Amino acid sequence: MPHPDLDAGLMIETAYAKVNVALHVRARRDDGYHALESLFVFAEHGDRLTAVATDDGAIDLVIDGPFGSGLEAGPDNLVMKAARALQAYLGDQRGAAIRLTKILPVASGIGGGSADAAATLRLLARLWDVRIEAEELAGLALDLGSDVPACVASVTQMVTGRGERLRPHPVEGLDGMAMLLVNPGVGVSTAQVFNGWDRADRGPLDATSLKTLVAQGRNDLEAPAIAAAPVIAQLLGALEGHDGLVLARMSGSGATCFALFDSDAAMADAAMAVQAAHRDWWIMETRIRTA
C-alpha cells in the first residue's frame, strides 16, 4: 500500500546540520565579509521540511519541533526567503504549504537557518518539478547567506571566499565518523563574533588528512565567541578527556561545539557523561554524512 504522505503529494527533505571541522579566518575584506578557509562536513541529522504544492501562488509556512517556538514564520524566515527567491527566479506563481520541524538550535553555528534555506530550494525544485542550472542555484543560495551554497549539496567540502567557492574534498576516515553536537543554550550573533576577530591571520588550512585537521586545524572564531559567551570554554572543557575522542572544537561562530569519536560506543559514553553533568545542554548523537 502506498505511504499516505506520498499519496497526498507530500515531499520531505532533511536540512542537514553543518559543522566546520576547521575554520581559518584569513582576512577582513573591503565589503565587510571575511575571507575564510573551512572544511565543511554535514551531519546525518537536521531539521525536517515537508511541503505540498498549492495552485494559488501562496507560500504558507508553519513551524513546529523542539526549537520551533523561538522562530517566526514571517518573511524574514530563511525558508520563506528561499521560497520567494525561487518563485521570483522562476517568474511564476506556483505555491506551496511548507512545514518546518525545527530540531537544531537557532543561531548556534551549525547553520540551521542556512541548511533550511538550502533544503527549501531542493524541496521546492522537486515539488514544482523544475531543473535549475547549478550556477543559477549557487547564485540564489549565496544571496540567502554565506553558508547556503555549501548546504545545497551538503557533502564534505573545502569552502573559501566568503563561502561561495566550493570544492568537494573527501578526507579519508571522516565519512560516517561518530559526531557529537553539544549546545549550551546560548545563541550568539555571527556578525558580532566576526567583529570580535583580532584580525591576526594565523595561516592557511591543511585539510589533506584527518591528522592535519586535528593537529593544525583551528577555529579562529573560538576566542571572540568565548568572549561573547564564556560558557563555550566550559563546554570545550567538558568535551575533552573522553575515551575514543579524536577532536573537539567549536563549529562556525558558535556556540555549538562538536566532538569526533573513533566509535559510536565511545560517543554514547561521552554523551551520557556530558548530559549527566549538564542537564540543560542540548546534545545530538549523529555521524558525518557520506556523499
Ligand X SMILES: Nc1ncnc2c1ncn2[C@@H]1O[C@H](COP(=O)(O)OP(=O)(O)OP(=O)(O)O)[C@@H](O)[C@H]1O
Given ligand CDM, ligand X, none, residue 194, with its beta carbon under 5 to 8 Å by kind, binds: ligand CDM
CA distances from 151 to 211, 245, 281 (A): 25, 26, 25
Nearer to ligand CDM, 53 or 236 (CB): 236
Question: What single-letter DSSP state applies at residue 277?
Answer: H
Q: Choose the binding region for ligand X from 69-77, 124-132, 197-205, 268-276 (rule: CB under 6 A).
A: 69-77
Among 43, 78, 155, 284, binds ligand X (CB under 6 A): 78
**Percentages of the chain per state (helix, strand, coil), in multiples of 5:** 35, 30, 35
Specify whether 18 is catalytic. yes
Residues 100-119 that bind ligand X (CB under 6 A): 106-114, 116
Tell me how many degrees the CA angle 247-241-256 measures, rounded to the nearest 5. Answer: 50
From candidates 14, 219, 253, 286, binder to ligand X by CB under 6 A: 253
The reply to whether 13 sits near ligand X by the rule CB under 6 A is no
- The β-bridge relationship of strands 95-101 and 59-64 is parallel
Among 14, 38, 87, 157, indicate the residue that binds ligand CDM (CB under 6 A).
Answer: 38
Residue 147 sits in the site that holds ligand CDM (CB under 6 A): yes
DSSP classification of residue 68: G
Q: Between 98 and 137, how does the x/- string for binding to ligand CDM read (CB under 6 A)?
A: -------------x--x-----------------------
Going from the C-alpha of 92 to that of each of 55, 128, 136, 141, 269, the distances in angstroms are 11, 11, 17, 19, 52
- Say which entry of ligand CDM, ligand X, none residue 229 contacts (CB below 5 to 8 A, set by partner kind): none
Tell me how far the alpha carbon of residue 50 is from its chain's centroid: 18
Is 280 among the catalytic positions? no
- The pair phi, psi for residue 163, each rounded to 5°, is 140, 0
Contacting residues toward ligand CDM, per CB under 6 A: 20, 23, 32-34, 36, 38, 111, 114, 145-147, 162-163, 190-191, 194, 252-253
Annotated catalytic residues are: 18, 147
